[in-house]
Amino acid sequence: MASRRRVLKVLAGSRRQLRKWWWSNSGDWRWLTSKPIPVAGLNRLLWRESVPSLSFVVMLTLSSVISTLGLLAGSTATVIGAMIIAPLMGPIIGVAYAIAVANRRLIKRAGLTLVFGTLVAVVSATVICYMTGLRTLTEEIILRTEPTLIDLAVAMAAGAAGAFAKSRKHVADSFPGVAIAVALVPPLSVVGIGIALGNETVWMGATLLYITNLTGIIFSGILIFLWQEYGSLQRAKEGIIASVVMIVLLGVPLGLSLQNLLVQSNLRQRVRYLVRNELPLLDQSDIQAIAVQEQTTGLLISLEVLTPNAPLSPVDLEASQRFLESALQRPVTLSVRVIPVQEFTLPASP
């Protein structure tokens, strides 16, 4: 008992010394301590952002146009610009807040604004895709057709950041960064592009990503508002249950997609290791580039090789193909592009 008292006494003294050191070196900064916005102020802010005003429609339409053109052109910078000016986060955070405080009128208002904004973005993207006549699926488009659990985690983190930013004046400047992180408008633009191209895989995958983003933002937003004592757990119980059910339902396809992504990533790493370290072609050539693509008949492995001495023979290529099929235990289509490549351009006859 005596030793226990001594330990407690030492801990208490250390705590006093730590507190004394902290306050002696922190200065008079307590006036900088931020507090949540009063309920009345947050109500007015979110009601204002949940109204489908002219500015909301104009900014969302322009954001959709910029996003669609950026996706079709494969421009990442353009797509980021569209994310910044998109006003969709306002009504989504409004829905989360309304669920936390059980404000049915705000739920209806923010929900209708969200549905209206979603339709505006999709229709704008569809029209732009028709008008441009572009039919190429760029990497920016394809990236938004295969959502995984990682996208759900990003949406939940962004929703928490968005709810916290709305309730604290001093962090409101970080809200554009939240919009960039969660990327709401680009998936809607991809939905419109998929509809314009008649590509069911594209618009369904992008729709799943958009629903994933909505669910993650609303769920984490509710929790952040409850943590800051806006509303109560009893009032928000139904909304939380609905969000959890949606997350569980989304978890199945998102989990399968993540597993498929991991399998493909491991397969590509395995192929790259074999090609770089064990392929028979290495004896007389230098591998410059490797590409791996899944096909219904097996794998398509495309190589770009540099042969400084002698050209590759069909025997060398067949040996390399057999080696890859044996190592990977699956059919392999081998495509080899040899460098240097001779190119000739002849002018048109007058």
Q: Tell me: the pLDDT tens digits for 45-54?
A: 888 888 888 8
How confident is the prediction for the chain on average, in pLDDT?
A: 80
The confidence score (pLDDT) of residue 215 equals 92
- Which residues are CB-neighbours of 50 under 8 A, at least 6 positions away? 90, 91, 94, 106, 109, 110, 113
**Percentage above 90 pLDDT, the chain:** 15
Residue 229 lies in a domain: yes
Q: Distance between CA 221 and CA 339 in Å, rounded?
A: 55
**227: number of Cβ within 10 Å:** 14
How many domains is the chain built from?
2
Instruction: Tell me: do 203 and 314 sit in the same domain.
Output: no
Instruction: Tell me: do 157 and 187 sit in the same domain.
Output: yes
Instruction: Tell me: do 231 and 302 sit in the same domain.
Output: no
Instruction: Tell me: do 99 and 133 sit in the same domain.
Output: yes
Q: Distance between CA 125 and CA 66 in Å, rounded?
A: 9
Report angle CA 104, 108, 113 to the nearest 5 degrees: 150
Average pLDDT over residues 151-170: 84
Q: Pick the range with the lowest mean pLDDT from 19-28, 197-206, 268-277.
A: 19-28
Domain residue limits at 155 = 39-265
Instruction: Tell me: do 232 and 316 sit in the same domain.
Output: no
Residue 169 lies in a domain: yes
Radius of gyration of the chain measured on its C-alpha atoms: 28
Query: Does residue 119 surpass a pLDDT of 90?
Result: yes
Instruction: Tell me: do 260 and 303 sit in the same domain.
Output: no
Query: Does residue 33 surpass a pLDDT of 60?
Result: no
Q: Which residue, of 235, 265, 295, is where some domain finishes?
A: 265
pLDDT band at 277 (very low <50, low <70, confident <90, very high): confident
Return contacts of 203-209, CB within 8 angstroms, 24+ apart: 205/144, 205/145, 205/146, 205/147, 206/144, 206/145, 208/147, 208/250, 208/253, 208/254, 209/144, 209/145, 209/147, 209/151
Q: Which residue, of 238, 265, 292, is where some domain finishes?
A: 265
pLDDT tens sequence across 196-244? 988 888 899 899 999 999 999 999 999 988 888 887 788 888 888 988 9
Return contacts of 271-275, CB within 8 angstroms, 24+ apart: 271/299, 271/301, 271/324, 271/328, 274/323, 274/324, 274/327, 274/328, 275/301, 275/303, 275/324
Q: What CATH number is given to the structural domain containing 314?
A: 3.30.300
Q: Which residue, of 265, 293, 317, is where some domain finishes?
A: 265
Residue 104 lies in a domain: yes
Instruction: Tell me: do 205 and 156 sit in the same domain.
Output: yes
**Who has greater pLDDT, 28 or 79?**
79
What letter represents residue 177's amino acid? G
Residue 212 lies in a domain: yes
- What does the block give as tokens for 46? 């979110």
Backbone angles phi, psi at 226, to 5 degrees: -65, -40
pLDDT tens sequence across 83-110? 888 888 888 989 998 998 888 888 899 9
Instruction: Tell me: do 69 and 120 sit in the same domain.
Output: yes
Instruction: Tell me: do 302 and 186 sit in the same domain.
Output: no
Instruction: Tell me: do 230 and 324 sit in the same domain.
Output: no
Q: What CATH number is given to the structural domain containing 76?
A: 1.20.1080
DSSP line for 70-85: HHHHT-HHHHHHHHHH
The confidence score (pLDDT) of residue 24 equals 60
Residue 270 lies in a domain: no
Average pLDDT over residues 159-168: 83
pLDDT band at 309 (very low <50, low <70, confident <90, very high): low
Instruction: Tell me: do 195 and 332 sit in the same domain.
Output: no
